Structure 1
Amino acid sequence: MVASGKQKFDGLGADYDRYRPRYPDALFDVLAARLSPIEEPHVVDAGAGTGVALEGLIPRLPAGARIDAVDISGDMVARGREKFPTVTWHVGPAEPFLESITGIDLVVAAQAYQWMDRPRYLSAAADCLTPRGLVAIMQNNRDFTANPFLDAYESLLEELSPGYSRSYRSFDIAAELGERFEAVTDHRVTWEWKVRREDFAAMTQTSTQVQRALAADADEFHRRLSALLDAHQSDGDVVLTYTSELFIASDPRDMKEPAQPTGRSFIS
């Protein structure tokens, strides 16, 4: 499956893989526990990027697990193939890929759900599952309410990135899953990450919103970001606060075992 034309992350694969934050181990432990009754699961990483989520997921999968990964960016997929050559990689959008397959035990989207045609994606993901199959959505959210630096950074993006709002992911994922699945659980971890200021600056270049700001006025963005880092760094470091979320959905109407009840867990 091949997507034509330049995609938003083309040319950014190496830096994306190097600088983007990873996901907390505790969330992968939850997901692996839910998947554990299946001896040789078939997993699809939808919107896989360079395989950042696979770094945490693959070590927790049993021998014999089969993994497909699909991403619209050929640059991202090329990097992913280097990291995980035993994974079957596909270039193209996730929705038609899921519509073309069956027998899947886990469909996971990490940091990608907001880019999907979400109703089509959830319908396709649900239809390709086995009776005990799961759909998982995972994301790292900058916690600007608890971090003055991130609050100021969001304000900078809102000013300089055309059309950007910090609430661009403020939709109810659990409710959207609940429209298609009867059992939805929500697990969260809040954590801090200390990074060098130059690494944070490099990480910003892998953001779609920052790419829009650079296209509008690259000199102004770099000047303002440098001033922001000057104001908030300590010994060359800045501290980032994230709230990471994992949503797991299953449909008890199609399950051979009782569904896990809907609920939330907050993991410190």
Structure 2
Amino acid sequence: MADENASLPSTARFGDRVDDYVRYRPDYPVALLDWLQREQGVDSSWRVADIGAGTGISSKLFLDAGYRVTAVEPNAPMRTAAEHWLRAYAGFDAVDGGADATGLPDASVDLVTVAQAFHWFDEDAARREFARILRPRGLAAIWWNSRRLNGTRFLEGYEALLLAYGTDYASVAERYADDARMRAWFGAGFRGAARFEHAQQLDFEALRGRLMSSSYAPKAGHPRHEPMLRALRELFDSCAENGTVSFDYDTRIFAGQLA
């Protein structure tokens, strides 16, 4: 069967995975926000534009700390999920926009954030747009939860499962920027980078949902879907301790100014 995701634009890849995304995708370590505040001078008076905000996981990190956040998200189901989940926060709003055309006014925000989405952007167009909407001396902060590929039998087995059953897993994985590429993207404005340990403890239902939240996991009806789930069950049963497995990440963040 042809790759079912190959022709999908990045803005549409997660539209039919919103429920799993909301329930099973990881949040981000509070230490990341502490680092931005301590090392980069960010504070809760700063206006945040969260680009590619998805269902609002990254927006919530800042809202919980008292920031005002505009979530910019082109995927309507994901944006609607964010609006529903975060509706109680007075400092939150969401707009239909992308990294190259946010729809926000010139020099209107102090901090541009991108969590788990930068690898889908046109990097040059995004840089121009972020520079346009940032106020003088404003910052951009870009981060990922990078899943660890080895170190435990579960992590190594999960990586092997994705390579065996994922629709376009290898091509998606290759899109993630390494440290050198991110430093080059910021150029002379680069201000710093940090890395934090993070993890989810998942029972089988949550592990299945975490897998199915990924754009490269074949959906029901695809010939690899049921074999993939059987392999996942076998992996879980062989690795679980006290009914869960540890899904481990390194959260990598890069921050700087965009002249």
Match of residue 155 from structure 1: 160
Q: What 5-or-longer segments of structure 2 have no aligned partner?
A: 1-8
Cα distance in structure 2, aligned partners of 1:206 and 1:6: 15
- The total of aligned residue pairs comes to 246
**For the Cα contact (< 8 Å) 1:160–1:213, is it kept in 2?**
no
Q: How does 1:22-171 map to 2 (within 5 A)?
A: 22-33=27-38, 36=41, 40-61=45-66, 65-85=67-87, 86=90, 87-97=92-102, 101-165=106-170, 167-171=173-177
Q: Indicate how the Cα distance of structure 1 residues 147 and 120 shifts in structure 2: closer, same or farther if over 3 A, else same.
A: farther
- Structure 1 residue matching 2:249: 3-state secondary structure: strand
2:178 is aligned to 172
Equivalent AA in structure 2 for residue 235 of structure 1? N
Distance 1:95 1:6 in 2: 12
Compute the displacement of 1:214 (Å).
6.7
Distance 1:221 1:14, change over 3 A: same
Report the RMSD for the aligned CA atoms in angstroms: 2.7
Using the alignment, how far apart are the partners of 1:67 and 1:29 within structure 2?
17
Measure the CA separation in 1 of the matches of 2:180 and 2:103.
21
Q: Which amino acid counterpart does residue 83 of structure 1 have in structure 2?
A: W
User: Percent of aligned pairs with the same residue?
Assistant: 27
Aligned partner of 1:185 in structure 2 is 192
How big is each residue's C-alpha offset from its partner over 1:174-231, in whole Å with a ceiling of 9 and x where there is no partner?
5334344422311111234322122111111111011469735212111111111122
TM-score of the superposed pair, with normalisation by structure 2:
0.83
Aligned partners of 1:174 and 1:247 also within 8 Å: no
Point out where structure 1 has 5 or more consecutive residues left out of the alignment: 255-268
Deviation, structure 1 residue 98? 6.0
In 2, the alpha carbon distance for the partners of 1:45 and 1:6 equals 15
| Equivalent pair of 2:149/2:155 in contact (CA under 8 Å) | yes
Of 191-200 and 37-46, the range deviating more from structure 2? 37-46
Q: CA deviation at 1:170?
A: 4.5
Greater Cα shift, 160-169 or 141-150: 160-169
* Cα contact 2:167–2:218 (8 A) shared by 1: no
What is residue 259 of structure 1 aligned with on the other side?
none
> Do the aligned partners of residues 167 and 10 (structure 1) sit closer, same or farther apart at CA in structure 2, a change above 3 Å counting?
closer
Instruction: Quote the Cα distance in structure 1 between the aligned partners of 2:133 and 2:218.
Output: 34
Q: Is the contact made by 1:214 and 1:221 (CA closer than 8 Å) also made in structure 2?
A: no
Change (3 A) 1:213 1:102: farther
